[in-house]
Amino acid sequence: MSRLFLKKENKKELSMMVLWLVLLYPLERMSSAGWAATTVNYIWTLALGIFSLISIRKAYDGEKIGIVSGIFYALAAIYACNQEQVCMVLFVTYLVFTILLTARDKKKVSPILYIQTLIAVLSLIFILTTPGNNVRKIDEVVTYFPDFTNMTFIEKAAIGVTTTMGEMLVNSSITFAIFTFIMMMYIWDNYKDRLVRGISAVPFVATMVLSFASPITEKLSVSVGWVIKNFTETEELILRPATFNYLGSYVPLMISLVVITCIFISLLLIFKKLRNNVAFYVFGCGLATRILMGFSPTVFVSRNRTCIFLEFACLICALLIWQEFIKKAEKKTKTKVYNVVAVSAIVQYVVTLSFILISHINL
């Protein structure tokens, strides 16, 4: 993350922010299907996928990619592309940047970019054609989601969106909360327009009302409890012809789309333009990795661990916003936001360690 996204200015301070942001991830989620299997399938592929993208950063900056480095980037890509969600992101990213850099630099583009793109293409073909995946999917449909085969593309997409934002908004995602907090604070510090401030506040307020403050908000408003229930019971309230006349089936989807729209608008306001808006692209890729789960029969079984790529996309966006934040914000405001992130990271890390300790004692 440091090598890919940090600028040279204030690198020491920014490196500390990277540390706090990484510690924010609730690592206890990696125990949901067994520590070894889940970690190897998600943490390793995430780490190696990000590492493999350093080749693109070097090529973009005009740096030479050595043979040894290139071999390691290629090996990292081979491993990372074996995971479906990561493979889609790397495939699109390698392809887009290889085309852009080829158009910019002509024959000077490093061959490693073409090799990595080829690796991603071959990995995607392997994932889509290997017989084992088809056999596993049939078994998962029978075991976890018998109605899956009868659903339309739109219904699966709706499930992908609502389950994704349900994890972010209702199930106390600290990574999403910190990301939306930093985003909101930047907007409020740089814009005075009430509408703009309101748009930036929607994602953070929504996650606070529906998750972290829900024990209080549910008592204050029956509507909040109803919304939370509709988010958490998505499996029973799938938007399909049988539920078209039931208002509750639309609520999670509409809230999800509003929050997503507000995030994209806020990122445009922060970075001013769509072109070269890295945060816009990173959040979009992270969001796509989780929405794609709507097209898997395990969408309701493997909920939070499959959000890791979206959550790290949020953390990367938070880092990118922070780099803009420290350029313009007053020292007092920067200190407050930094302390919120640091304290939250320490608390989350203690929670993770406590979970590991307690779970091992129970074993």
Confidence of residue 298 (pLDDT cuts 50, 70, 90): confident
Q: Return the top range by mean pLDDT from 77-81, 129-133, 209-213.
A: 77-81
| Tens digits of residue pLDDT in 264-282 | 999 999 998 887 789 999 9
Cα gap 94→122, rounded to integer Å: 13
C-alpha pair distances (Å), 244 with each of 86, 155, 248? 34, 11, 9
Tell me what the pLDDT averaged over the chain comes to.
87
Tell whether the torsion through CA atoms of 301, 306, 307 and 311 is positive or negative.
positive
Residue 82 has what pLDDT? 92
Q: Which amino acid is present at 229?
A: K
**Is 195 a residue whose pLDDT tops 70?**
yes
Query: At a CB cut-off of 8 Å and minimum separation 6, what does 228 contact?
Result: 170, 210, 214, 218
Mean pLDDT over residues 239-254, rounded?
65
Q: Taking a C-beta distance cutoff of 8 angstroms, is the pair 308, 42 a contact? A: yes
Helix-strand-coil percent breakdown of the chain, rounded to 5? 80, 0, 20
Cα gap 86→83, rounded to integer Å: 6
| Tens digits of residue pLDDT in 217-238 | 878 877 787 677 777 666 555 5
| Tens digits of residue pLDDT in 137-186 | 888 888 877 877 888 888 888 888 988 998 899 888 899 999 999 999 99
3-state secondary structure of 66: coil
Residue 235 has what pLDDT? 55
**Is 248 a residue whose pLDDT tops 80?**
no
Residue 323, classified by CB atoms within 10 Å of its CB into exposed (0-12), middle (13-18) or buried (19+), is middle
**Is 244 a residue whose pLDDT tops 60?**
no
**Is 115 a residue whose pLDDT tops 90?**
yes
Mean pLDDT over residues 17-33, rounded?
90
Where do the domains of the chain lie?
33-129, 152-329
Residue 326 has what pLDDT? 85
